Amino acid sequence: MRHRITLLPLILSLAACRQDMHNQPRYKPLAGTGFFGDGRSARPSPEGTVARGELHIDKARYTGKVDGNDVTAFPFPITRADVSRGQQRFNIYCSPCHSRLGDGNGMIVRRGFRQAANYNTDKLRNAPVGHFFDVITNGFGAMPSYASRIPPDDRWRIVAYIRVLQFSQNAKLEDAPPAERQELEAMPVTPSPAPSPTPQKEVSR
Amino acid sequence: MAQIFHRSANSLANITIAAVILGIGGLLWASYRIDQGSFITEVGIARQQPVPFSHKHHVTDDGIDCRYCHTSVEVSPFAGLPPTETCMSCHSQIWTNAEMLEPVRASYRTGQSIEWTRVYDLPDFVYFNHSIHINKGVGCSTCHGRVDLMPLTYKANTLYMQWCVECHRNPAKYVRPREEVFNMTYQAPGNQMELGRRLVAEYKVQSLTDCVTCHR
């Protein structure tokens, strides 16, 4: 009996090495499995099903097109908060190639990716908003679809920010408010610098 | 009657008592050190991966935001691991012949997943949600360290309960402004406690130390 009592702590300390509770019979997101043939625990949705919140009836809002033509107006009113969110999302997903100025010379292009579109051309300045939405959704040329990474409403906010970039890159001194105009006039003229690779501060949401 | 014990038995007894106490203490100390060491915690040890992916290159050299790949970190418990499609956004055009990237291209061709090795593996009895931490001003680097300087990814912290609770007891020591959460080079300012207390009030950060917060 006495031996059993002295052995007890040893048995308990060995029992603590078991990982039953650490590794329970359930899957973490994207964990592998031997149960399904393709080795994935994350299952694709069965054909013909619509996930909750994914029933996209409003064609203009979810495809950027009506009867095959790009829509010319935003499907919801764009507020300042939407533009800020658009800026943030643009800097995350678009600026690697299109650059933070939208001139198409982002870091990935400088590393050898095919030249990305410059938004500051007459063709794209005059393009309807639905065109940009469609390109984000379905890709264009070497650009892949960003539909799985950017939810539809954020795509519209990015389009709104592209409009901001187009305006800012083509703005004249008279477009600035008087107070800022004076400040701008006082600044020495320098060639515009290359976009900085270090992340800039984001506008807070 | 002759003495049963030789007089050296006194010293022997003393030495034995000392040895037992020191021995037990030493064992406890050694097991504590082993438990805290990287042999058990895996802190600082880069894991073998099918592709030697460098966060340093993609974040520091290329300036890509965390969320370009970890898309769900702001809205879900899981930060999100990029599908092969995301890698191929750029690597369909860049480094297309690199031997190193063959597993990525193979995955894209065949539709088979790349089997990455999990670096941060919480025990299954712990509930954790990325999005709430992000939205309350806990920076990526607070828990994951300077991932932007890691050529190969390794664990920066133990994920031990005492480590979690250290922040849960006093979040003001660690929170930062929301717009700095994804800034990997952020340094806590000199007046962190003052700033932290203000942010804790502003973001309504609660000091949650109930067992059921994580063990639910």
Count of structural domains within chain A:
1
Residue A54 domain-assigned?
no
Statement to judge: residues B25 and B77 lie in one domain:
no
Chain B interface mutation, best of A18, A26, A92, highest count of B Cβ atoms under 10 Å? A92
The DSSP line for A113-153 is PPPPPPS-SHHHHSS-HHHHHHHHHH-BTTBPP-TTTS-HH
> In chain B, how many domains are there?
2
Residues B155 and B183 in one domain: yes
Q: Is the per-residue pLDDT at A1 higher than 50?
A: no
Question: Which pLDDT does position B5 carry in this prediction?
Answer: 87
Range of the domain at A161: 77-170
Residues B77 and B166 in one domain: yes
Q: Rounded to a whole number, what is the distance in Å from the CA of B185 to chain A's nearest CA?
A: 10
- Residue A204's pLDDT band (boundaries 50, 70, 90)? very low
Q: CB–CB of A70/A130 below 8 Å?
A: yes
pLDDT tens-digit map of A111-160: 999 999 999 999 999 999 999 999 999 999 999 999 999 999 999 999 99
Residue A196 has pLDDT above 70, yes or no: no
Confidence of residue A102 (pLDDT cuts 50, 70, 90): very high
CA distance B172 to B196: 4
pLDDT of residue A156: 97
Output the domain CATH number for residue A137. Answer: 1.10.760.10
Report in angstroms the alpha-carbon separations of B90 from A97, B3, B192.
9, 89, 39
Does the residue A38 lie in any domain? no
Residue B144 lies in a domain: yes
Measure CA of the first residue to CA of the last residue in chain A; give whole Å: 68
- Chain B partners within 8 Å of A16 (Cβ): none
Q: Mutate one of A12, A26, A30 to test the B interface: name it (highest B CB count within 10 A).
A: A30
Same domain, B62 and B32: no
Q: Is residue B195 part of a domain?
A: yes
Q: Average pLDDT in the A83-109 region?
A: 96
Residue of A nearest to B95 (CA): A112
Helix (H, G, I), strand (E, B) or coil at A40: strand
Confidence of residue A13 (pLDDT cuts 50, 70, 90): low
Question: Would you call A24 and B118 a contact, using CB atoms and an 8 Å cutoff?
Answer: no
Question: Do B31 and B121 share a domain, yes or no?
Answer: no
C-alpha–C-alpha distance, residues A95 and A202, integer Å: 13
Residue B189 within any structural domain of the chain: yes
Give me the pLDDT at residue A205, please: 42
- Domain match, B168 and B67 both: yes
Question: For position A192, what pLDDT does the model report?
Answer: 62
Question: Would the pLDDT of A4 be above 60?
Answer: no
Whether B123 sits inside 8 A of A22 (CB atoms) is yes
Within 8 A of B71 by CB-CB distance, chain A residues are: 149
Answer whether A140 touches B (CB < 8 Å): no
With a cut of 60, say whether residue A199 has pLDDT above it: no
Q: Examine the domain organization and report whether B30 and B133 are in the same domain.
A: no
Per-residue pLDDT band for A11 (boundaries 50, 70, 90) equals: low
Report the 10 Å Cβ neighbour count for A27.
13
Among the listed ranges A63-72, A189-198, B5-14, which one has the minimum average pLDDT value? A189-198
Of B81, B92, B94, the CB nearest to A30: B81
Kindly list the residues from chain A whose CB atom is less than 8 angstroms away from the CB atom of residue B61.
197
Do B74 and B121 lie in one domain? The reply is yes
pLDDT at B4: 86
Clarify whether residues B122 and B177 are in a common domain.
yes
Instruction: Name the stretches of chain B with pLDDT < 50.
Output: none
**Is residue B72 in a domain?**
yes
Residues in chain B within 8 Å Cβ distance of A21:
123-125
Find where tokens 């291209």 sit.
Answer: B105
Mean pLDDT for chain A?
Answer: 86
Asked if the structure places residue A190 within a domain, the reply is no
Same domain, B68 and B30: no
DSSP chain B: ---SS-THHHHHHHHHHHHHHHHHHHHHHHHHHHHHSHHHH-BT-PPP-SS---HIIIIIIT---HHHH-TTTTTSSS-----HHHHHHHHTTSSTT-GGGHHHHHHHHH-PPP-PPPS----TT----HHHHHHTT--HHHHH--GGG-SS--B-S---HHHHHHHHH-GGGT---GGGTT-TT----TTHHHHHHHHHHHTT------HHHH--
Looking at the structure, do residues B23 and B75 belong to the same domain, yes or no?
no
Looking at the fold, whether B136 and B200 belong to one and the same domain comes out as yes
Shortest CA distance from B181: residue in chain A: A202
Give domain status of residue B100, yes or no.
no
Q: Does A197 or A175 have the greater pLDDT score?
A: A175
Q: With respect to residue B191, please indicate whether it lies within any of the assigned structural domains.
A: yes
Can you give the residue range of the structural domain that contains B70?
Answer: 55-81+116-214
Name the closest residue on chain A to residue B92, using Cα atoms.
A142
| Phi-psi label, residue B112: left if phi above 0, alpha if psi -120 to 50, beta otherwise | beta
